[in-house]
Amino acid sequence: MVAMPELPSPTIAAIDAWHERKQEIRHYPFIRGSAIGHQCERALFYRFRWAHQPETFTGRMLRLFQTGHRDEARMVMDLRNAGIQVQDRDPKTRDQWEVEACDGHFQGHLDGIVEGLLEAPKTPHLLECKTHNAKSFAQLKSMGVEAAKPDHMAQMQVYMHLQGLTRAFYLAKSKDTDEYWSERIHYDPIHGAALVAKAERVRAAKEAPARVSDDPEYFLCKAFNCSSYQVCHGGAFALRNCRTCLWSEPIENANWFCHRHKRALLREEQAGGCPNHLYIPSLVPGEQIDADEQSETVTYTMRDGSQWQDGGRVAA
């Protein structure tokens, strides 16, 4: 008897649909510590400037993220049960450990700080807990964190740099077998400082930085399904909001300032923009050919040869 293929379960579809409805779709206001290892500064700039819609995930992926968070909490508990001192909250704030740089426009959160590791009982370590599928876990054991997960290495280096720590303890767990694997990471001050400088370049950039590759088929762009792909390579316009406007700039204390209206911008209003919006020129899929300061317009030649004018004076 030939087995009939199973039809998709409407119950499972309803579970996933619930998770998808509940996911928080929002722009991150900061350059994230977990993303600073990304090879393409242009992609970091697009995300910081809210040039495209935030990423959304399927119900299955959202459940997978939840599983990862639960596993990380269990990893902390296992460390404590083994006699390791784990501070997963900053005793000053009683919230998750936080580091920041670049006038508050770069932020990251630590899994914790551990003391009493049997490998080095006197040295405080940054704690980084990660879960991996079978393939990723095998690569990690074979190659080590720096080669297998350079983004995780970057995250630890910048956190050690900003927290004043000299060692990190990377604890990995296989999702398939529950096997643990660990690596002690030495602080590299050159690497840590370079990552902060990278975040500062993204924060201070007036135009989109150079692409990691001008080839639309480049693996980091196409194969990795970069969320910035359509704005970067596909000819799509960036979103209209305060952060894609040439009048605005990030200032101290994680704030933004509009030079057109000469005032600070509340975070909740930044996504809306205003009628005086003018695109940062590198966010327009065309070549700038003219600008008129009096009328507040910028003119572009588009890819198809047509001309398009951005802006036009609107009463404040």
For residue 144, the model assigns a pLDDT of: 97
Hey, is 201 helix, strand or coil? helix
Q: Which domain holds residue 102?
A: 28-203
Q: Which residues of 98-115 are buried (b: 16+ CB within 10 A; e: fewer)?
A: ebbbbebbbbbebbbbbe
Helix axes 150-163, 189-204, angle to 10 degrees: 90
pLDDT tens by residue, 88-128: 999 999 999 999 999 999 999 999 999 999 999 999 999 99
- What CATH number has the domain bearing residue 161? 3.90.320.10
For residue 180, the model assigns a pLDDT of: 98
- Nearest one of 269, 262, 275 to 314, comparing CA atoms: 275
For residue 253, the model assigns a pLDDT of: 95
Question: Which residues of the chain fall short of a pLDDT of 50?
Answer: 315-316
Query: What is the spatial distance between Cα 267 and Cα 269, in angstroms, rounded to a whole number?
Result: 5
Query: What is the spatial distance between Cα 236 and Cα 283, in angstroms, rounded to a whole number?
Result: 9
Token readout for 155 is 């995250």
Is residue 133 a part of any domain in this protein? yes
Is residue 44 a part of any domain in this protein? yes
The answer to whether 152 and 183 have CB atoms below 8 angstroms apart is no
Q: Into how many domains does the chain fold?
A: 1
Q: Which residues of 292-307 are buried (b: 16+ CB within 10 A; e: fewer)?
A: eeeebebbbeeeeeee
Length of the chain: 316
Is residue 273 a part of any domain in this protein? no
Is residue 238 a part of any domain in this protein? no
Is residue 74 a part of any domain in this protein? yes
Is residue 231 a part of any domain in this protein? no
Is residue 99 a part of any domain in this protein? yes
Is residue 14 a part of any domain in this protein? no
* Secondary structure E strands in the chain: 31-32, 85-87, 98-101, 106-109, 112-115, 125-132, 167-174, 180-186, 248-250, 256-258, 263-265, 286-292, 297-302, 307-311
